[in-house]
Amino acid sequence: MSETLRFRAELQRKHPDLPVFIRIPGATVAPWKLTEWQTVEGTLDGHAFGRRTIKDWGKDSADWFVEFLQPWLEKAGLKPGDPVEVELRLADMTMPPEMAERMTSDPQFGRAYEALIPNHKRKAIEHYLEAKTLAGRTARLEKIARSIKARLS
């Protein structure tokens, strides 16, 4: 598990039609050695926000940001302009055993998965883990395998 980062930030919004976000100085996330978008988990003022994506600010800055949708902010009692205590950690992206077993039993799926870029691997794992039941996970694994193998064809 990655180091948990704790810092203060301000909830910001550039335009009323856009999500609210926190801007994170590059020095704050430097221990993670980020090179691409990653999934994070954490809290704002003690309210767990689940999984979100930490994204780079752009080529003109070493900063990063995480977005939050208005319904979640309202539920947490937060709004743009509020200072917040932030806890962030990189989400566990360990491959589920069922996916690993499928790669062993279906070498074509294994080869196709290994050919994916890291971000697409992460998305496949997250999609699988979001299913709430065993039947849902089984169905998602079938769909993921078909989709990924089709990319190799």
The pLDDT value recorded for residue 59 is 86
The stretch 68-95 carries a mean pLDDT of 94
25 and 70 in a single domain? The answer is yes
126 and 80 in a single domain? The answer is no
Q: What is the pTM of this model?
A: 0.71
pLDDT classification of 104: cutoffs 50, 70, 90 = very high
85 and 38 in a single domain? The answer is yes
Please report how many Cα atoms fall inside a 13 Å half-sphere around the Cα of residue 24, on the Cβ side: 24
18 and 51 in a single domain? The answer is yes
pLDDT classification of 87: cutoffs 50, 70, 90 = very high
* Count of domains forming the chain: 2
10 and 79 in a single domain? The answer is yes
Last residue of a domain, one of 90, 105, 136: 90
Last residue of a domain, one of 63, 90, 117: 90
144 and 125 in a single domain? The answer is yes
Those residues whose C-beta lies under 8 Å from the C-beta of residue 84, and which sit 6 or more positions away, are: 8, 9, 10, 11, 22, 44, 45, 78
Q: Domain containing 15: what range?
A: 5-90
19 and 85 in a single domain? The answer is yes
Last residue of a domain, one of 55, 90, 125: 90
28-65 pLDDT per residue, tens = 999 998 888 888 999 999 999 988 989 999 988 999 99
47-56 and 38-44: which strand pairing?
antiparallel
83 and 20 in a single domain? The answer is yes
12 and 39 in a single domain? The answer is yes
